[in-house]
Each structure stands twice: as structure tokens, then as C-alpha cells.
Amino acid sequence: MVGELIEYLPYTAIAQFRKEIGKYVDDKEVARLEQYVYVPINLNSASDGTLLSIPGITPQALYERSKSTVPTRTFRSSAQRSPGM
């Protein structure tokens, strides 16, 4: 099983992890294994489905984010942020 986990690294989305590992184990085991998997997410370009895969993110939170009147800014590096951040 470890070989299968490593074979597909790095995972580009949690859906990819579920699909690939789901070939070898049932849905309950896939859900259990998810807690041990790191999937990098670019918050600036992630789809709603990807954002919803983050524990604690709800459809309401996505709606609030999309309707926010506060302008958002994409940072290329931590040096671009103000010192207080």
C-alpha cells in the first residue's frame, strides 16, 4: 500500500488521491487515509470544489468570499506583504 501512496506523488488535488487510492481500498479507508496526505492548494486559482475539500470550508464561506467587496491581492512572495502581516 505504501508503494501506491508514493507512486502518484505529488497529488495535485484531493480528488486525484481519492481516485488513485480508491482503486485499492474502499471509500471508508480512503477517507481515513486523507488525514495523512498533503495536497498543495493555490488559494488564488483553486476551484470551488478544491476549496470545499479543505476541512471547515463551507459553501457559505465560498459565497461570502466571492461577494466580498474588499479587494484581494495576489502576492508573489512574502516580501511583498507589509511588515505587519
For residue range 34-68, what is the model confidence (pLDDT) as tens digits? 888 888 888 888 888 888 888 888 999 888 877 77
More confident: 83 or 55: 55
Q: What sign does the CA torsion over 65, 69, 74, 78 have?
A: negative
Q: Contacts from 63-71 at CB under 8 Å and sequence distance 24+? A: none
Q: How far apart are CA 53 and CA 14, in angstroms?
A: 7
Confidence grade of residue 32 (pLDDT, cut at 50, 70, 90): very high
pLDDT band of residue 20 (cuts 50, 70, 90) is very high
pLDDT at 26: 96
CB hemisphere CA count around 49 (13 angstroms)? 4
Q: Where are the domains of the chain?
A: 2-69
First to last CA, the chain: 42
Q: How far is CA 18 from CA 8, 37, 38, 39, 74, in A?
A: 11, 11, 13, 12, 29
pLDDT of residue 72: 62
Instruction: Find cell 457559505 and name the residue.
Output: 60
